[in-house]
Amino acid sequence: MKLAIIADIHGNALALEAVLADIKRHQVDDILNLGDHLSGPLEAKRTADILINSHMISISGNHDRTMVDLTFDEMGKSDQAAYRQLDATHVNWLRELKDTHLYNDEIFMCHGSPKSNLDMWMEQIMPNGAFALASQNQIENYAIGINHPIILCGHTHIPRIVRLSGGRILINPGSVGFPAFGEKEPVDFYMQNGIPDACYVILEKISNQWMPSFHYVPYDSLAAAEMAKIAGFDDWVSGLTTGWYQKH
């Protein structure tokens, strides 16, 4: 079996198209998509149309949830920017997405952790605001009760693989569309991958062993950065252009 794992597209249709073209080369059985599909100032509508017309298995991320649970005025700026582009078909699609999914009885999918789409499963924020690998204890604790050989999460946009107790493999495929971001509230933090390319994972089962591999796909990230700039999202521009976060 061969699968593609994608997450955190954030309305970046250009990055998604590049990733889907690359996935095609690998001839996978299925694409598993871990959420935060549309939120942001880029191409939410076009991204939603691509996803709705695909056969991939998608779950809901925290931004997908807030875009259907909150009123427009209650939403954050990036959710509002995406929501403005959507029609009822897109919103209904978001509403139908589940928070978790079990694929083929062996792959558990969630966005943050099994408990919450807001949990940062494998990362912690350091005193200087940077993201770092969380403690082994934290990572193992979120996985209690999930006894499937492969566990997938997204949310932090940081590509990472950890081997859990019992041989289980925990994978965050990184972000298709948004490689660096920062916040000032409620805490000051930033995340940066140092590369603008779209990131995803190919997961292959060979001789009963699962083998994950990360793939970085170059695409026209300058065009995406230009869209962010035109929309007034200056804090997206550096991340999309370079993969590094620049404070604003």
Q: Closest approach of Cβ 111 to Fe ion, in Å? A: 6
What binding mask, one character per residue, do residues 101-140 give for Fe ion by CB under 5 A, x or -?
----------------------------------------
When binding is defined by CB under 5 A, the residue of 58, 62, 175, 221 that contacts Fe ion is 62
- Rounded Cα distance, 137 and 142, in Å: 9
Q: How many CB atoms lie within 10 A of CB 237?
A: 18
Q: Closest approach of Cβ 222 to Fe ion, in Å? A: 24
* 62 versus 78: smaller Cβ distance to Fe ion: 62
Q: Closest approach of Cβ 118 to Fe ion, in Å? A: 8
CB 111 within 8 A of CB 99: yes
Identify the H or E element spanning 207.
none
Q: Which stretch binds Fe ion (CB under 5 A): 28-36, 124-132, 203-211, 238-246?
A: 28-36
The greatest distance separating any two alpha carbons of the chain, rounded to the nearest whole angstrom, comes to 52
Q: Closest approach of Cβ 61 to Fe ion, in Å? A: 4
When binding is defined by CB under 5 A, the residue of 155, 160, 168, 215 that contacts Fe ion is 155
Q: Which stretch binds Fe ion (CB under 5 A): 11-19, 131-139, 151-159, 214-222?
A: 151-159
Asked if 65 touches Fe ion (CB under 5 A), the answer is no
Query: 56, 153, 155: which is closest to 97 by C-alpha?
Result: 56
Residues linked to residue 131 through DSSP beta bridges, in sequence order: 125
Residue located via tokens 């309305």: 11
* 62 versus 193: smaller Cβ distance to Fe ion: 62
Asked if 11 touches Fe ion (CB under 5 A), the answer is no
Query: 101, 116, 111: which is closest to 148 by C-alpha?
Result: 101
When binding is defined by CB under 5 A, the residue of 61, 174, 182, 239 that contacts Fe ion is 61
* 7 versus 18: smaller Cβ distance to Fe ion: 7
Residue nearest to Fe ion (CB): 155
- The count of residues in the chain is 248
- Rounded Cα distance, 16 and 197, in Å: 11
Q: How many CB atoms lie within 10 A of CB 240?
A: 28
Q: Closest approach of Cβ 62 to Fe ion, in Å? A: 5
Query: 75, 20, 74: which is closest to 47 by C-alpha?
Result: 20
Peptide bond preceding 218 in cis form (omega within 30 of 0) = no
Asked if 47 touches Fe ion (CB under 5 A), the answer is no
Q: Which residues bind Fe ion (CB under 5 A)?
A: 36, 61-62, 155
